[in-house]
Structure 1
């Protein structure tokens, strides 16, 4: 980033003044709970609160915050509230309590009101829209370079930044994680709670950690599952998808080669890679269609990367490759996966918020030459996804500089349990190690070894992980030391 020394000093002074100012919280509100869907069979209540658009001007414009509540199953055992967030940035959490009610253990459901929410600008919380069309794979960033290579990607990234500015320029500067964390304290106050507990997955781990930095006295219990590395927000985090996805893909290639009698992709890893590459080239010539989704070679890799978030989904990727080679998508597991992704991530709102948060949380390098060099390097190192992960995106051309410094995670007074799998390809395990180190002596790291999975608690089925997290949520007592679990069934 090129700027004059005087301008840099002025900017730094302004940023420091804002970042060192005490957090401003809106006046408490009383949520008016109503049935979310008028269906007695789904006992989820919904309400709407309001928060300042700009916390420096708490009396000015506001944003809506859509929240939900699933009450503790046993009022006699109720301990408090557990706010839950699925990640993103851009993920909706309003319906999350209903899903967790199917997977969380009874001891947790008995003791906590599960509180879901759509973070600012997501879903029902004053949604942000840059006007993207098509499916999430059409609008997604970072993305693999097309036929025009890096110059075409840079041009497209600049246009997306301009498109978001035209559509939402007055709200983009306020999309930061710090503001979303301040919104959480509006929710806490509205619920009438002195302290909240928090369960966050993926990006939700960063949101929770930032909340703990801004409001340390308001945290009761905190579980950060699939933690990101706060030191790499955000280009460094995105670039890390290159090596992580390469490792995950190599793992799947080995798995598929061992099952050549079933899938017939090839009996060696080299043969499987060649089969996959040939399929990608064929799709570039004649894309497959699944509803609105056009599957060319790049989209195949985008979808594959998501499937590879879990080693339990290796058969789904094999089914996708086999179906596409046969010219029809008939595997129920494949169709179910694609349907779930397309339904869960509405292209316009999800990608709009994803970009707005990433571009607002941190200052991005504005020199295209840096991204061009990194793209060329990582394309060779990590051919599966490296060019996308390192490539240029709209944040390099974003119309607004961050209003605040990127939050530094420092040792926290409250307890935190950081959870990570050694093979996580979405938030690589090094991020969990980094998060735990930054949070200091009151944090613990819970590791699942030899597993490729993004988000573990009550999802992967590892008894060691599940029992440790449950014990912490129920009792409030962290393990005496960091703990490592073996990847064994149940």
Structure 2
């Protein structure tokens, strides 16, 4: 069972978890009614009406308050990392920006790969791979710092900072590995009242365990605070403006920065964009439709293959065959060659993981064929990757940081299980196979112990320089309409469209996308608004 639906970036052959959203039908968290003119990919709209009703994120004062000057004026001490060719340091920030003089300090992990030349150095290029909960440090050291285009690495120091609560930066922890194994097996498609109560109890126990272990931190891991940390790092690095590439949830972080500090925005690339004006209910319903769009693309491709385990009778038949398999697993989990068995919830997670990139589609065909023959090992491996579970049974921090940030950033979409149950029909309309899973998963934040501090906000960032927003037409995790919504809100937003599959677009094989981003980062050449790549 996923704590909430995660998003993963697909660039540079490196998948890192991103965001899980929660939702239901009807009104979203910002209060607007659904749009009857929505795209066929979703029964609801996440477009301009949400942006029109949400309040605007107001910028912070230009002048840094005196009590924050010691943080902005700190000198970073760099040392060689364990990974050759990279430098590491720690950034000191206040736990509570509202009371910095009374607050304890947090130490945030930072890494960089210095510009290699030739060409004059353009400054620091900050990157965030998504999440919330994805490690920017790991991403820089394994992907961006070695895989970004050579001209970009030649002229920028590639910088990554783990946001507060993530990986090397005061990581949130909630369960033991054994407890997490049990948690992800929990049935998130309850068939009766007893299973509803079991699911609610699992969510509540997870939330209480997080509060017990991390109470002091849980109220201060919001995206607004992470954006403020970015500004402290920008100043400590000696850059007048922030240059940034954010993917998936990283677009929400980057857009939030732009809204708070429009006068300090340099070149911002927001790839696989989120729409910050939409409430949690509508976000998850949109995302459900996004996964359905990606799933249909997989089924269409699968039907052309001789090894397709779901038949060649069209997407309807294939979806029914997968649904039948999941129902069988709900009744009778199958073996995996280990003490762990493949349950319906784990199998669903494995399938959804493969929707993030079309490069996983052959692997998914093989895993589904094996599962239909009684071997669940391959689907379990896909689920384990999604949950960041190692071969030794240990879990990474992302599954704890993710709900900690999400449940703080937006109010919960449901007041209780009854509302989740009422939402199932609308979610199944958005995705007949995955709708129940998404509808019930959205219940998780209902039991979170720390009250939310955020709400849906329109981000305009008036006064900022050109901001490049990228949307992929069949992106499962950040539906294309979200990129349209963000680009429309930003006063200087430019939309670049990738007509393709998978999650995010930069450095994923499109020369058109890569050239446009590189020209923007290196020469401040912004593509014409509405440019399409394939």
Deviation of 1:480 (Å): 3.5
Assess if the C-alpha contact under 8 Å between 2:472 and 2:501 holds in 1.
yes
Q: d(CA) in 1 for partners of 2:470 and 2:79?
A: 34
Range 409-418 or range 199-208, more displaced: 409-418
1:300 partnered with 2:347: yes
Matched with 2:415 is: 367
Matched with 2:134 is: 91
The unaligned stretches of length 5 or more in structure 2 are 1-54
Does the C-alpha gap of structure 1 residues 293 and 393 become closer, same or farther in structure 2, counting only changes over 3 Å? Answer: farther
Cα-to-partner distance string for 1:139-162 (whole Å, 9 max, x where unaligned): 569983245444433333233222
CA RMSD of aligned residues (A): 2.9
1:74 partnered with 2:125: no
Give the 5 Å matches for 1:379-398: 379=428, 381-391=430-440, 392-398=442-448
Q: Aligned match of 2:73 in 28, 50, 54? A: 28
Matched with 1:312 is: 359
Q: d(CA) in 2 for partners of 1:247 and 1:76?
A: 43
1:100 partnered with 2:132: no
SS at the partner of 1:421?
strand
Does the C-alpha gap of structure 1 residues 383 and 473 become closer, same or farther in structure 2, counting only changes over 3 Å? Answer: same
Assess if the C-alpha contact under 8 Å between 2:125 and 2:245 holds in 1.
yes
1:244 partnered with 2:290: yes
Q: d(CA) in 2 for partners of 1:402 and 1:330?
A: 38
Cα-to-partner distance string for 1:7-36 (whole Å, 9 max, x where unaligned): xxxxxxxxx9x9786476433222211111
Assess if the C-alpha contact under 8 Å between 1:364 and 1:396 holds in 2.
yes
1:54 partnered with 2:99: no
Deviation of 1:275 (Å): 3.3
Question: Which has a greater percent of helix?
Answer: 1
Does the C-alpha gap of structure 1 residues 141 and 350 become closer, same or farther in structure 2, counting only changes over 3 Å? Answer: farther
Q: d(CA) in 1 for partners of 2:59 and 2:242?
A: 24
Assess if the C-alpha contact under 8 Å between 2:350 and 2:380 holds in 1.
no
Q: Aligned match of 1:421 in 472, 477, 482? A: 472
1:262 partnered with 2:307: yes
Matched with 2:496 is: 446
Does the C-alpha gap of structure 1 residues 108 and 20 become closer, same or farther in structure 2, counting only changes over 3 Å? Answer: closer
Deviation of 1:432 (Å): 0.4
SS at the partner of 2:235?
helix
SS at the partner of 2:398?
helix
State the TM-score, normalizing by the size of structure 2: 0.79
Does the C-alpha gap of structure 1 residues 433 and 160 become closer, same or farther in structure 2, counting only changes over 3 Å? Answer: same
Q: d(CA) in 2 for partners of 1:51 and 1:143?
A: 40
SS at the partner of 1:55?
coil
Higher RCO (CA 8 Å, separation ≥ 6 residues): 2
Matched with 2:214 is: 168
SS at the partner of 2:164?
coil
Range 75-84 or range 274-283, more displaced: 274-283
The unaligned stretches of length 5 or more in structure 1 are 1-15
Q: d(CA) in 1 for partners of 2:77 and 2:389?
A: 27
Does the C-alpha gap of structure 1 residues 75 and 351 become closer, same or farther in structure 2, counting only changes over 3 Å? Answer: same
Q: d(CA) in 2 for partners of 1:290 and 1:85?
A: 37
SS at the partner of 2:174?
coil
Deviation of 1:84 (Å): 0.3
Q: d(CA) in 2 for partners of 1:348 and 1:479?
A: 38
Q: d(CA) in 1 for partners of 2:197 and 2:96?
A: 36
Matched with 2:248 is: 202
Does the C-alpha gap of structure 1 residues 283 and 92 become closer, same or farther in structure 2, counting only changes over 3 Å? Answer: same
Range 273-282 or range 470-479, more displaced: 273-282
Does the C-alpha gap of structure 1 residues 103 and 341 become closer, same or farther in structure 2, counting only changes over 3 Å? Answer: same
Cα-to-partner distance string for 1:111-155 (whole Å, 9 max, x where unaligned): 110001111010010111122535978656998324544443333
Deviation of 1:456 (Å): 0.9
Deviation of 1:292 (Å): 8.0
Q: d(CA) in 2 for partners of 1:404 and 1:231?
A: 11
SS at the partner of 1:288?
coil
SS at the partner of 1:72?
coil
Q: Aligned match of 2:427 in 365, 373, 378? A: 378
Q: Aligned match of 1:216 in 239, 262, 265? A: 262
SS at the partner of 1:372?
helix
Deviation of 1:183 (Å): 0.7
Q: d(CA) in 2 for partners of 1:170 and 1:141?
A: 29
Give the 5 Å matches for 1:317-336: 317-328=364-375
Assess if the C-alpha contact under 8 Å between 2:185 and 2:346 holds in 1.
no
SS at the partner of 2:159?
strand
Does the C-alpha gap of structure 1 residues 211 and 159 become closer, same or farther in structure 2, counting only changes over 3 Å? Answer: same
Does the C-alpha gap of structure 1 residues 381 and 362 become closer, same or farther in structure 2, counting only changes over 3 Å? Answer: closer
SS at the partner of 1:170?
helix
SS at the partner of 1:77?
coil
SS at the partner of 1:320?
helix
Cα-to-partner distance string for 1:50-104 (whole Å, 9 max, x where unaligned): 1111001112111111000000111642101000000001111102223123432
Cα-to-partner distance string for 1:367-396 (whole Å, 9 max, x where unaligned): 223322112432355222212323342321
Give the 5 Å matches for 1:350-361: 350-361=398-409
